[in-house]
């Protein structure tokens, strides 16, 4: 009889915040700061219920309210300290902030084809990666389970970093609200354990 395989060490869990009204309306949501909807709060509680048995030692969060609300519920369920880190903030969409998504493709060709291209008066995908990767390296280096509650673009930047691919991959990924993505580290290098887990939301 073969013994059970040792568990994979989960060291960094990335969580996208729950729903806001701007998400529901299909608008670009960067640095604006709407609160969670009632559904968003239900989603945050569902994430907390999944992570509670895993006993993370800390929950890092973007300073934006929707992320802090989500992180606070996770921290309370897990008995973990909540730490605000501004590097986890969402991309700055600049002049495109709050635009309906259906209006964006008419103007987005340059941004979609070049990850170093900035949104008008805002940031680029490369900017986000340069901001968040040092934090993710730091958290993975702790060699213990940590949660980071953030937004769609920082999570995609983390996945690109873990896979060793360019930031333009962000436009080829869909990341759901209140989803879970997991990274590990082996021989000093990050790797992707899971992406866009949503089974906890189906109920």
The DSSP secondary structure of 170-185, one letter per residue, reads GGG----TT-EEEEEE
pLDDT digits (tens, 9 = 90+) for 40-61: 999 999 999 999 999 999 999 9
Instruction: Look up residue 124 and give its two tokens.
Output: 């680029």
pTM, entire model: 0.94
Domain range summary for the chain, segments of one domain joined by + = 12-201
Q: Please report, rounded to a whole number, the percentage of residues in the chain having pLDDT higher than 70.
A: 94
User: Hey, what CATH topology would domain 12-201 get?
Assistant: Rossmann fold (3.40.50)
Read off the pLDDT of each residue in 150-164 and give the average, rounded to a whole number.
98
Catalytic center residues: 17, 90
Burial of 133-154, coded b for 16+ CB within 10 Å and e otherwise, reads bebbeebbeeeebbbbbbbbbb
Read off the pLDDT of each residue in 111-134 and give the average, rounded to a whole number.
93
pLDDT at 183 over 90: yes
Read off the pLDDT of each residue in 32-42 and give the average, rounded to a whole number.
98
Q: 105 falls in which pLDDT band (50, 70, 90)?
A: low
């Amino acid at each position: 009889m073969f013994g059970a395989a040792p568990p994979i060490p989960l060291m960094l869990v990335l969580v996208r915040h729950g729903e806001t009204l701007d998400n529901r309306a299909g608008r670009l949501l960067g640095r604006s700061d709407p609160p969670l909807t009632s559904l968003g709060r239900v989603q945050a509680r569902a994430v907390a219920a999944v992570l509670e048995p895993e006993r993370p030692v800390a929950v890092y969060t973007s300073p934006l309210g929707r992320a802090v609300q989500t992180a606070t519920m996770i921290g309370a369920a897990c008995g973990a300290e909540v730490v605000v880190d501004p590097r986890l903030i969402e991309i700055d969409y600049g002049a495109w902030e709050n635009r309906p998504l259906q209006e964006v493709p008419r103007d987005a060709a340059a941004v979609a084809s070049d990850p170093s291209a900035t949104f008008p008066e805002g940031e680029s995908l490369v900017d986000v990666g340069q901001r968040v990767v040092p934090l993710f390296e730091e958290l993975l280096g702790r060699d213990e389970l940590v949660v980071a509650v953030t937004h769609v673009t920082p999570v995609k930047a983390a996945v690109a970093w873990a896979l060793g691919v360019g930031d333009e991959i962000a436009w080829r990924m869909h990341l759901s609200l209140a989803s879970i993505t997991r990274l590990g580290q082996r021989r000093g290098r990050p790797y992707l354990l899971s992406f866009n887990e949503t089974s906890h939301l189906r109920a």
